[in-house]
């Protein structure tokens, strides 16, 4: 895969994560629907607020080029844990429904973002001055 294709795939997948994990939750976490979703899974209201805070920090870490690779790795790890935990929570409460698989789809998109991020890093190190 060439550098241009890699960058396009990186930005498409990372934009999906930014929108679905940062922007939408930041705008909707205080709605009744969000509160009902958190309580349906057995979590207290403050848990939803805390998760949204971590999501926002995670998407900032993924977006800003000044953030170190080490912190980006932790953001990817945090989102991975979140998606796996969400899938397990839905399965435990509702059984194997489509809600169990939606976080796994997001995990797949995150994994593609992660792979293309590292390819992007490899391209940047191979060609000085290019990021």
Q: What is the pTM assigned to this prediction?
A: 0.88
Over residues 22-29, the mean pLDDT reads: 92
pLDDT at residue 122 in the model: 81
> How many whole angstroms separate alpha carbon 28 and alpha carbon 26?
6
Over residues 26-45, the mean pLDDT reads: 92
Mean pLDDT of the chain: 92
If you compute the radius of gyration of the chain from its CA atoms, what whole number of angstroms results? Answer: 16
Residue-wise pLDDT tens digits, 44-103: 999 999 999 999 999 999 999 999 999 999 999 999 999 999 999 999 999 999 999 999
Which helix (H) or strand (E) segment holds residue 127: the answer is none
């Amino acid at each position: 895969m060439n550098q241009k294709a890699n960058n396009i795939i990186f930005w498409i997948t990372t934009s999906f994560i930014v929108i679905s994990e940062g922007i939408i939750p930041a705008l909707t976490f205080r709605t009744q629907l969000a509160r009902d979703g958190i309580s349906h899974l057995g979590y207290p209201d403050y848990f939803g607020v805390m998760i949204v805070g971590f999501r926002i920090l995670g998407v900032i870490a993924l977006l800003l080029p000044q953030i170190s690779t080490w912190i980006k790795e932790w953001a990817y790890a945090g989102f991975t844990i979140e998606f796996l935990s969400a899938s397990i929570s839905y399965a435990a409460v509702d059984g194997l429904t489509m809600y169990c698989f939606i976080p796994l789809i997001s995990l797949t998109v995150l994994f593609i973002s992660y792979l293309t991020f590292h390819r992007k890093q490899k391209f940047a190190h191979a060609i000085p001055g290019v990021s």
